[in-house]
Amino acid sequence: MRGAKSAKWVAGAAVIALAATACGGGDSGSDKKNTSGQPAGYVSIDVGEPQKPLMPADTNESNGSYVIQSLFTQLLDFDDKGEIVLTNAESVETEDSKTWTVKLKAGWKFHNGEAVTAQSYIDAWNWYANVENKQQNAFWFSDIKGYADVHPEKGAPKSDKMSGLKAVDDTTFTIELTDKVPYFNYKLGYATFAPLPKVFYDDPKAFGQKPIGNGPYTFEKWTHKKLIQVKAWPEYQGPNKAANKGIQFKNYSTVEAAYSDVISGNLDMIRQVGPRDLPKYKADLGDGAIDQPYAAIQTLTPAFYSKTFKDIDPKVLQGLSMAIDRETITKTVLNGTRIPATSFTPPQVKGNQTLDSDVLKFNPAKAKELIKAGGGVPENKFSIQYNADGGHKEWVTAVCESIRNATGVDCVGDAKPDFPTDLEARDNNEVKGFYRGGWVADYPVNVNFLKELYHSKAESNNGRFSDKEIDDLMAKGDKADSLEASVAAYQEVEKKLVDKMPAIPLWYYAINGGHGKNVDNVKVDFHGDLELTGVTTK
């Protein structure tokens, strides 16, 4: 009894000590209630420090993109169904998928009053594509004729202009491509294609800290690692005019910290709820909880150069795919935050189809059969590479467990400490078995998920899948004269992929975010970003 008594005393003492010591903190903290320093009518969201200076063609991570998209508007955008919405362009047309004519809406201006002209686009694109300017997204311009002159594989550029870009008049220009690209207009929706004002070229470095765009918001301030603030621009003429007075992008060190600020009213929106709060966020946020799928997919991609998967019979991969209980894993381990995949493309993209195959369905008996028919997995064992800093360990373990139970093939996780290490192993062909692949749509067409990942020359094809038949089928799709024909051709590619298994599709992503009581009309766009222009304050 003595022990119990003193334990109680100790626990009591701990509580008293905590209460006594923390009181002082409360007094001064509670006088300013709510929204710390947020101007009235502004909305705040947990968007962290951009990785790089704010330049449209040098940003491909989500923090920077959020800010770029609020400051810049490119020719066109997409609605939540993935359909094209013209923003700065009056029309984008082609007759042969090779030469595209862009007409701009008249009267558009940059935030400094300079008119947005055809030349603003042409100069910007030429600058972005130029190898000397080292823009991350330069390769997005590689379809345009003359790209090789400004961005040669080796050495200095031969020219600083791409021959495919020609201004017809102030508001019209033509884009000539090297080859037919029936879906080129969809690519133009990527933020990288934004125009630049003349002041940019005076000092790009300074511009990156204080950008001037043509978008719905104007730049206000950037307190590094803490806050970026933009203000609604009254002269904006696009369809996505801001419904609020401005946005604060606030940097949080953890999703948990951001979540606790949403709950206490210091933050309006959170993009992703962390695992700790997932089980209760719907109860906490009520109507404010957001649970919506978007165009992204996760896969297990075999390294076809590895000892395990070199010359593997696709039947084995089909078998492994059937040994994964996607339903149960997404429901339990992933807390319902993912949707089991039914094809190689997510439902939000043009051309997504339900594959007529049961390869993606859980079926242990058939899985075993297929693996046996395909000659089995070498050494009856394989590994899945993932980055340990991204919260992947849990589902990798579950997938392994599922495969082991269903087929008896041994499966281990191959953890890399963080994303840079993981990427390095992929780039250097050092993946030992599968790696965790993920892809978010750049533009909502199935091509983006098939060509960029499985064409033998595709830059993001890190599994080094190479198949002549698939390449030829893709070439057919690229030569098509219309978008519809091209999408249909790529649907054929997708059907064929089931027999080749360049990857095992696992599940589609969903965004699990939310907003507090001060804001309304929070919507999610096709690549999972919250649409900020439409958000209203109460």
- CA angle, 131 then 135 then 137, to 5°: 110
Q: Smallest distance from the beta carbon of 2 to other proteins, in angstroms?
A: 11
Q: Smallest distance from the beta carbon of 390 to other proteins, in angstroms?
A: 11
State the Cα–Cα distance between residues 451 and 445, nearest whole angstrom. 11
Only one of the segments 4-12, 115-123, 234-242, 402-410 lies at the binding site for other proteins (rule: CB under 8 A); that segment is 4-12
Query: Which is closer to other proteins, CB of 99 or CB of 260?
Result: 260
Residue 245 found at the interface with other proteins (CB under 8 A): no
Only one of the segments 3-11, 81-89, 92-100, 482-490 lies at the binding site for other proteins (rule: CB under 8 A); that segment is 3-11
399-418: which residues touch other proteins (CB under 8 A)?
Answer: 418
Which positions ≥6 away from 423 have C-beta within 8 Å? none
Q: Smallest distance from the beta carbon of 226 to other proteins, in angstroms?
A: 5
The rounded Cα 44 to chain-centroid distance in angstroms is: 21
DSSP state of 133: G
210-229: which residues touch other proteins (CB under 8 A)?
Answer: 223-227
In the shown chain, the binding pattern of residues 26 to 55 toward other proteins, with x for contact by CB under 8 A and - for none, equals xxxxx-----xx-----------xxxxx--
Query: Which is closer to other proteins, CB of 136 or CB of 397?
Result: 136
Q: Applying CB under 8 A, which of residues 6, 163, 429, 482 lies at the interface with other proteins?
A: 6
113-132: which residues touch other proteins (CB under 8 A)?
Answer: 131
State the Cα–Cα distance between residues 62 and 46, nearest whole angstrom. 11
Strands (E), 9-116: 42-45, 76-78, 84-86, 89-94, 99-104
Q: Smallest distance from the beta carbon of 255 to other proteins, in angstroms?
A: 10
417-436: which residues touch other proteins (CB under 8 A)?
Answer: 418-421, 423-425, 427
Q: Smallest distance from the beta carbon of 129 to other proteins, in angstroms?
A: 12
Bridge partners for 14 per DSSP: none
Which positions ≥6 away from 177 have C-beta within 8 Å? 97, 98, 99, 100, 143, 144, 145, 164, 184
Q: What is the DSSP string of 151-209?
A: S-SSSS-S-SS-TTEEEEETTEEEEEBSS--TTHHHHTTSGGG----THHHH-HHHHHH
Q: Smallest distance from the beta carbon of 156 to other proteins, in angstroms?
A: 11
Q: Applying CB under 8 A, which of residues 5, 134, 468, 538 lies at the interface with other proteins?
A: 134
Q: Applying CB under 8 A, which of residues 148, 263, 278, 488 lies at the interface with other proteins?
A: 263
Which positions ≥6 away from 368 have C-beta within 8 Å? 319, 323, 406, 407, 408
Residue 256 found at the interface with other proteins (CB under 8 A): yes
In contact, 270 and 258? CB cutoff 8 Å: yes
Residue 388 found at the interface with other proteins (CB under 8 A): no
State the Cα–Cα distance between residues 148 and 371, nearest whole angstrom. 45
Query: Which is closer to other proteins, CB of 261 or CB of 325?
Result: 261
Residue 3 found at the interface with other proteins (CB under 8 A): no
Q: What CA–CA distances, in Å, run from 177 to 33, 43, 155, 234?
A: 56, 41, 23, 36
Q: Applying CB under 8 A, which of residues 1, 3, 4, 24 lies at the interface with other proteins?
A: 24
CB atoms within 10 A of CB 92: 20
Residue 457 found at the interface with other proteins (CB under 8 A): no
Query: Which is closer to other proteins, CB of 389 or CB of 531?
Result: 389
**Cα-only R_g, the chain:** 26
Residue 206 found at the interface with other proteins (CB under 8 A): no
Nearest to 490 by CA among 181, 92, 188: 181
Q: Please, what sign has the CA dihedral across residues 455, 461, 466, 467?
A: negative
Nearest to 520 by CA among 336, 292, 285: 285
Query: Which is closer to other proteins, CB of 157 or CB of 374?
Result: 157
What are 537's two structure tokens? 């304050």
Residue 13 found at the interface with other proteins (CB under 8 A): yes
Site for other proteins (CB under 8 A): how many residues? 69
Residue 2 found at the interface with other proteins (CB under 8 A): no
Binding site residues, other proteins, CB under 8 A: 6, 9-11, 13-14, 17-19, 21-30, 36-37, 49-53, 60-61, 131, 134, 136, 138-139, 153-154, 205, 208, 223-227, 250-254, 256-258, 260-261, 263-264, 266, 389, 418-421, 423-425, 427, 437-439, 459-460
